[in-house]
């Protein structure tokens, strides 16, 4: 699998967001999507396919007992009324001793190995993050985050500020440009599920 196997990768976004997807879009089409290829959930599909690319894959979540399959989990720190990715980043850095990790949102199933390898190949220890970017749009949950950002994440968490784009804009971020927007299709709305059904191989 090449250079990607040298990296530990974290699939971000809490179970709350995964659960919200399955509840809000509980339609025949969305269920067909979530259960395609023999997997009962999108999370399990992501974990399985990315485990073939990376040596170590983790799911960042608030409660691993909500997942019906075995996996490597990183549980969020106990911070009352906080559901933002900021908490996940702090928890990940505290749980792992690695200097950097690759983050992918659970609801972006079309980010492929070619995209991942391109980001890794363009990363450097001289930057704080290497992040995917399409036409005018940053993809903060597809890229590499370095431990140098941990103090900033801790400050954001303390001050209840959770905008990843703001953090990246004010850090030493290397943006890698991609032309195919469909690669970063994020399944947050019903029309996105419908588009995903077209892109999924039958």
Residue 193 has pLDDT above 50, yes or no: yes
Residue 117 has pLDDT above 50, yes or no: yes
CA distance to 53, 69, 72, 154, 158, per residue, from 115 (Å): 12, 27, 23, 29, 33
pLDDT bucket at 26, cuts 50 / 70 / 90: very low
Which CATH number covers residue 155?
3.90.550.10
Residue 13 has pLDDT above 50, yes or no: no
Residue ranges of alpha helices (H) inside the chain are 15-24, 28-34, 42-50, 85-95, 113-121, 150-158, 164-169, 190-199
Summarised one tens digit per residue, pLDDT across range 51-86 is 888 888 888 888 888 778 888 888 887 766 666 788
**Residue 61 β-bridge partners:** 75
pLDDT of res. 30: 43
CA distance to 12, 14, 20, 61, 62, per residue, from 17 (Å): 10, 6, 5, 10, 10
pLDDT bucket at 129, cuts 50 / 70 / 90: very high
pLDDT bucket at 180, cuts 50 / 70 / 90: confident
Mean pLDDT across 131-160: 93
Residue 8 has pLDDT above 60, yes or no: no
pLDDT of res. 189: 66
pLDDT of res. 128: 98
pLDDT of res. 17: 28
Quote the CA–CA distance of 65 and 62 in Å, as a whole number: 9
Number of domains in the chain: 1
Q: Are 75 and 90 a contacting pair, CB within 8 Å?
A: no
Residue 32 has pLDDT above 70, yes or no: no
pLDDT of res. 38: 64
pLDDT of res. 42: 78
Q: Which of 51-65, 80-94, 111-125 has the highest mean pLDDT?
A: 111-125
pLDDT bucket at 45, cuts 50 / 70 / 90: confident
For residue 91, the enclosing domain spans 2-199
pLDDT higher for 130 or 192? 130
């Amino acid at each position: 699998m090449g250079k990607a196997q040298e990296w530990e990768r974290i699939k971000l976004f809490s179970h709350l967001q995964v659960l919200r997807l399955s509840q809000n879009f509980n339609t025949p089409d969305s269920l067909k999507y979530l259960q395609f290829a023999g997997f009962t959930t999108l999370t399990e599909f992501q974990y399985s396919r990315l485990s073939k690319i990376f040596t170590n894959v983790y799911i960042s979540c608030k409660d691993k007992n909500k997942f019906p399959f075995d996996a490597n989990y990183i549980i969020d720190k106990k911070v009352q009324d906080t559901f933002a990715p900021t908490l996940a980043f702090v928890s990940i850095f505290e749980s792992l001793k690695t200097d950097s990790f690759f983050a992918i949102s659970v609801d972006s199933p079309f980010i492929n190995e070619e995209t991942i390898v391109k980001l890794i190949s363009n990363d450097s220890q001289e930057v704080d993050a290497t992040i995917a970017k399409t036409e005018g749009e940053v993809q903060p949950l597809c890229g590499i985050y370095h431990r140098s950002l941990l103090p900033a994440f801790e400050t954001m968490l303390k001050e209840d500020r959770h905008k990843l784009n703001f953090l990246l804009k004010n850090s030493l971020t290397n943006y890698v440009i991609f032309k195919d927007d469909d690669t970063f299709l994020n399944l947050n709305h019903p029309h996105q599920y419908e588009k995903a059904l077209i892109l999924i191989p039958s």
